[in-house]
Chain A
Amino acid sequence: MTSAVAQPPGTTTAAAFERFFREHHPDVVRIARGVTGDEATAQDVAQDVFIAALRRFPDPRAAQHAAAWVRVAAAHTALNTIRGERRRGHRQVLSGIDVPRAGPEEAALDSECRAEVRQALRRLPRRSATVLVLRHSGLSYAEVAEAMNVNVGHVGTMLRRAESALRKEL
């Protein structure tokens, strides 16, 4: 469904970018959701990533690493987002909304756990947090290697160190 407005320059190029968007948007959202734990924020991150991608790769067919780039950009942008969370405070205003009464302890623990994980990701070195997010969002070792521009044999080592660091942070 290509709109008549706001096409990137050149019809063929525009169609190529739309195909690129449709192919990679689900992965980008999933990576962002893995960091933020929130669908709406993940969608925002994905929009920012693809706007940046459009500026960088107007014709993604000509950019060999465009797919890898948007994945890493999703991880970095999402990590930046949660790093700014504390400063911005919670956006969601719940006053006046019919929020269900406090549920079982497990629900609270789950929410608490997610917050702790986000804090831990904030504290980890950027590279460690990125490899964790990419791998645990479902990318294979080969895909993580391509996205991070490292040898595939090095991904296991990076992942092992990052997971050990994550455990220490919790």
Chain B
Amino acid sequence: MRHVSDGVLRRLQEEPYAVPDAAGRHLETCGRCRASSGQIAENAALASRLLAVPPAAEDTDAAWARLQRQLEPAARRPARGSGVPRFPRPLVNVPVVTGVGLTAVLVAGGVAAAATLTTVFSPTKVATVSLSQGDLRAVSNVLGLGRGPAAGSPSGGSGTQPLRFGTLRWSSSGQPGQVSSVARATAQTHLAFRAPARLPAGVGSLAAVLVQPQATATITFSKDIAAPVGGTRLTVSAGPAMMVQYGGQLGGGKVPTLGILTMRRPVATSTGATTSQLENYLLGQRGMPTDLARQVRLLGSPGSVLPIPVPPGATATHLRVHGAPAVLLSFASGAASAVIWESHDGTVHAVAGLLNRQDILNVARQIG
């Protein structure tokens, strides 16, 4: 077969099912096309990062009403400086960006999901934090989760929850759900997805594509706390994310064997206290597990490290995927593994499944 054209190589990055299978097969064996594909993928990822449009609340009613006003006959319209009323400008630009927060790190394929309390700003690399069930309970107690009734839905939408030192509010720009194709998920999340050209033995065809819109959690620290933490509003945004699941070759292919998660890195913003001040306040709370606090402090550069909780029974190995620091989690039985890394364009990737570590790494090195 002739070499794959640049246009097809570009489309393979995002709509792999829309190009002929022969192109994918050629790519597997042709070094020249793979090199071109890599360069195209880099440029695409850069453009995606620079041009991606974050979701925003859309008030179509207000926009329609405004259009109606503009279409009013001039005689009925009050005099204005210009013919076209302008949209009101925000009075204040983006708040000061610093941060500490609770980051939920999703790991696909039913392997693990956990959350930890640590510093988040705009992380550029991953690192591990060992986390026991006791640590999770202790962090929950420190936060005061469950102190009062939560209002709203925890699974989506929005809600509030009183905390020991303030209030937690969360909201999502939409409901999570399944979509019909990778292309649709890409369109909704603005995340690029490169399907692995070769799947490990035992992994079946694509089974489901899920999307999670961007979710935002805001902690407002009580004004009773001493300055500068008191009154600070800390906002953590995570997502959007997309999860592509592949079924197994047994059980009618319904049981997910491999999951590939792609998400925008979480970002935290604070209106007052700095990263270090918030970190010191939170880690200094009575009841915070000493070892967990020590691990978080040892991470250093609190604004640039995404902590990956290591669940009990898992072994963490540090390695690199496409040159980026990665964490490989594996279980002694070898029945499940996961690898998590953040690529240079600010996208967090997780590949997880009921596979051994070598198979998981083979998949990871084909994407990202």
Contact = CB atoms under 8 A, between A and B. Distances in A.
A117 B70 CA distance: 32
A157 B66 contact: no
B92 A98 contact: yes
A113 interface: yes
Contacts of A25: 58, 60, 63-64
Contacts of B50: 113, 117, 166, 170
Contacts of B93: 94, 99-100
A159 B10 CA distance: 8
A100 B95 contact: yes
Interface size class of A (residues with CB under 8 A): 35 or more
B9 interface: yes
Interface stretch (B80-88, B153-161, B200-208, B256-264): B80-88
A104 B98 contact: yes
A163 B44 contact: yes
A127 interface: no
A87 interface: no
B53 A22 contact: no
Interface in A35-64: 39-41, 43-44, 46-48, 50-51, 54
A161 to B, nearest CB: 8
Interface string B63-74: 111111111110
Contact of A97 (B40, B92, B303): B92
A97 B18 CA distance: 51
B9 A156 contact: yes
B43 A47 contact: no
Given A104-B98, A138-B187, A30 B70 contact: no
B62 to A, nearest CB: 9
Given A156-B8, A167-B46, A107 B94 contact: yes
Contacts, number: 173
* B interface residue count range (under 10 / 10 to 19 / 20 to 34 / 35 or more): 35 or more
B68 A51 contact: no
B43 A136 contact: no
Interface string A126-153: 0000001100111111000000000001
Interface in A89-110: 91-92, 94, 97-104, 106-107, 110
Contact of B10 (A111, A117, A157): A157
B1 to A, nearest CB: 17
A80 B143 CA distance: 49
B303 A104 contact: yes
B43 A167 contact: yes
A38 B71 CA distance: 24
A21 B188 CA distance: 20
Interface string B31-56: 00000000010011011101111001
B96 interface: yes
B342 to A, nearest CB: 15
Residue of A25, A98, A156 with most chain B CB atoms under a 10 A cut-off: A156
B61 interface: yes
B286 interface: no
A29 interface: yes
B65 A1 contact: yes
A107 B97 contact: yes
Given A18-B64, A25-B63, A136 B51 contact: yes
A121 to B, nearest CB: 8
B15 A132 contact: no
B51 A47 contact: no
7 nearest CB pairs, A to B? A157-B7, A156-B7, A136-B51, A6-B71, A103-B96, A43-B87, A156-B10
Interface of B: 5-11, 14-15, 18, 40, 43-44, 46-48, 50-53, 56, 58, 60-61, 63-73, 76, 84, 86-98, 121-122, 183-184, 187-188, 190, 271, 275, 303
Given A47-B63, A98-B92, A99-B92, 11 more contacts: A5-B76, A6-B71, A25-B63, A29-B63, A40-B86, A51-B71, A107-B94, A107-B97, A157-B10, A160-B44, A167-B43
6 contacts: A1-B64, A40-B89, A103-B97, A132-B47, A141-B11, A166-B43
